[in-house]
Chain A
Amino acid sequence: MKVSEIEMISPQTVEECLYHLGEKDKTSRFIAGGTDAVVRMKDGAWLPDTWINIKQLDSLRYIKEEENGIHIGPLTTHTDIVHSGLLQKKADVLTAASKEVGAVQLQNMGTIGGNIATASPAGDTIPTLFVLDAQIELTSLMEKRIVPINEFFVGPGRTVQAQEEMITNIIIRPQTENEIGIFEKLGPRKAQSISIVNVAISLKMGEKSRECLGGKIAFGSVAPTIVRSEKCERMLTINPLHDEAIQDIAGAAWKEVMPISDVRASAKYRRSMASALLERGLYRLMKRWDER
């Protein structure tokens, strides 16, 4: 298949998308913002018979609060997320992550659905979706099912999404009044860089000084899929989060991650950086909490 021979259709409804996706005699793949899809088409890695263009599918571009959580349409761009008042207030960890995706142009183009479906271990919104207990809605012509985020990813670039399924909704838990979050990322360059290590943290704080009632910590890029750092999470509530406690928690992080060495960084470096990013994130969170 040559690039110039690939066809493109632009369905106007989800049903139409699913119908085309189900066609057996042709290979097809969605293209949303195209920031992963076009790069891989140019590399020759993704050459479907047909691109199903969903960029214009505005019915799947929304951010709204419902009874069971905040619903985010897969076609929502990173820029939409950064500018959403609702998410700034009730999912600050996600807005912080979308702000770190690529640079302005990439945030304008790239969608949250694309970020999830590409399933890169370095995908920046993904760890935040773990700390916000996201549920991914997958729809096919036959059924609709909801998959919890911790069951969604199988390995680098691999998810439980079947060929005939489309991501049609992302549901996240709104943060509570006393909950604050942060996203920290290490990349080779400030803008436009793929994470070497990233971490999403969300903490519920108590009445007493720096008293943490519980929290979630998820690392990206340090294992084939996202790692929830349960040991560090348990340590959050032992002592108030003053400097010494923060250093102890961060020190435990390196045992929780299982990074590989690759062209971007060695495993050893990633381990140290996982600890360093967690430490920095906790310092910054506590500073923000003190100053609120």
Chain B
Amino acid sequence: MKDIHFKVNGKNVSVNCAPTKTLLDVLRDEFDLTGSKECCGKGECGSCTVLLDGVSVCSCLVLIGQIHDVSVITVEGIGLTSNMDVVQQAFVDEGATQCGYCTPGLIVSSRSFLDGINHVPTDDEVKTALGGNLCRCTGYTKIMKAVQTAARKQLTMEETTN
């Protein structure tokens, strides 16, 4: 057992648990942040994607002992029903979600992708950026559209605030 201090969605937190527990299990079991999902548990599907110091990772492959002092952002930190992020709103508007199991991971990956670019991405760019996130329901067309819609919205918002 070990005491581990880190940040989740901007708040300082600590847990006392085995250092080999995955970040995903800690988020779900200890903090009740059940947005991040476990699907494959092996880094293949992206349903557990979170940001560590701003960088997207699979939380099913991160051991809690490895993230001392690190800042974690989960899908809940990106937005909740009351304050949805443009990406989340675009997923709703475009109908880019069916069973929803993949959606939180896709939202986190899309947010991270859009933070790094300043244009409306092409289909190929979206495919590369989201290649680590599997969806078994939608067939991806609406997901790609949602990411492009969010990018467009974000650009107009930036223009009006500048």
A interface with B by C-beta (< 8 Å): 3-8, 10, 31, 34-35, 38-39, 41-42, 51, 53, 55-56, 79, 102-106, 108-109, 190-192
Contacts and interface: CB of A to CB of B under 8 A. Distances in A.
A79 to B, nearest CB: 8
A104 B110 CA distance: 11
A34 B55 contact: no
B44 interface: yes
B125 to A, nearest CB: 12
Contact of B109 (A31, A55, A105, A190): A105
B73 to A, nearest CB: 14
B41 A42 contact: yes
Contacts of A106: 43, 58, 132
Interface stretch (B6-14, B61-69, B74-82, B139-147): B61-69
A10 B131 contact: no
Contacts of B63: 8, 31, 34, 38, 51, 53
Given A53-B65, A108-B56, A103 B20 contact: no
Contacts of B42: 39, 42
Given A8-B20, A42-B42, A192 B132 contact: yes
A108 B42 CA distance: 15
10 contacts: A4-B21, A8-B65, A39-B61, A42-B41, A51-B19, A104-B56, A104-B132, A105-B132, A109-B57, A109-B61
Interface of B: 2, 18-22, 41-44, 46, 49, 55-58, 60-63, 65-66, 68, 109, 112-113, 127-129, 131-133
B62 A51 contact: no
Contacts of A79: 55
B67 to A, nearest CB: 8
Nearest to A77: B55
A4 B41 CA distance: 17
A102 B20 contact: no
Nearest to A50: B19
B58 A192 contact: no
B61 A103 contact: no
A105 B19 contact: no
A103 B44 CA distance: 9
B20 A6 contact: yes
A102 to B, nearest CB: 7
A31 B21 CA distance: 14
B49 A7 contact: no
A53 B60 CA distance: 17
Given A34-B66, A51-B65, A192-B43, 17 more contacts: A5-B18, A6-B18, A8-B19, A8-B65, A8-B66, A10-B66, A31-B63, A31-B66, A38-B61, A42-B42, A53-B63, A104-B132, A106-B43, A109-B57, A109-B61, A190-B131, A192-B132
